[in-house]
Amino acid sequence: MTNWLKPYSKLPATRATALPAKQDFNAKLAAFKKAHGFRERYTMLCHCSRHGRPFEVVFERASEADRFTVSAVNKLAEHAGGGSSAAPQEKRFDVKQFNTSGWHCAWCSAQSWIHCHCGRNNCDYRFRQTGGTLYKCEPGCGATGDIVPMTEIAASAASGAPASMKGRGASALPSTNRTSLPRPDLPRLTGK
């Protein structure tokens, strides 16, 4: 039996052109999105620990080189229950990709939040009121524990137009007087 495995004196050449081409494409796509106002948007569902009401925080960024910033904090109506809608798919990001300085509770104006292991994001109102020793997930799972720094943020892709685009009522076609259509005062053709 012959040995059909042969050692290489040097490693075979690899294609290195794919990575720079992809980076070049991503850079051009980011420049296009920034020039035309396209922004990557994600929302994070939160709850007020004082009032137990839900709200959402919308984070946006123009390109992957930028950090997400808070673009809106919206109060949400409490769900009456019985809805069978599927939970939105969440994506996890490194916490360093976020600038959370604009974050606040929509209901009690708390300036920070706590993420419980059950997946719930609550404002830190109750934690500050109890002296900041142990955190109890209320409203939520009721678990009690110490606070540790966050390493990642889970958010779901935002839907709809950003707040800066809503209410503009921009038309797809410019409003101009069309001379190619017949004037309204001309007689119409009658059909059978």
3-state SS, residue 136? strand
Given the DSSP bridges, would you call strands 98-99 and 68-75 parallel, antiparallel or unpaired? Answer: parallel
Of 73, 77, 47, 66, give the one whose Cα is nearest residue 137.
47
Give the whole-angstrom CA distance, residue 129 versus residue 142.
Answer: 17
Q: So what's the pLDDT on residue 187?
A: 75
Given the DSSP bridges, would you call strands 54-61 and 68-75 parallel, antiparallel or unpaired? Answer: antiparallel
Q: So what's the pLDDT on residue 173?
A: 47
Q: So what's the pLDDT on residue 162?
A: 53
Are the beta carbons of 124 and 49 closer than 8 angstroms? yes
Regions of the chain short of the pLDDT cut 70: 1-19, 79-87, 159-183, 191-192
Q: So what's the pLDDT on residue 117?
A: 84
28-58 per-position pLDDT tens digit: 887 887 788 788 899 999 999 899 899 999 9
Q: How far is CA 112 from CA 5, 46, 125, in A?
A: 61, 11, 8
Burial (CB count within 10 angstroms: exposed 0-12, middle 13-18, buried 19+), residue 50: middle
137-148 per-position pLDDT tens digit: 887 888 888 888
60 bridge partner residues: 41, 69
Q: So what's the pLDDT on residue 34?
A: 77
Q: So what's the pLDDT on residue 167?
A: 44
Give the whole-angstrom CA distance, residue 101 versus residue 43.
Answer: 16
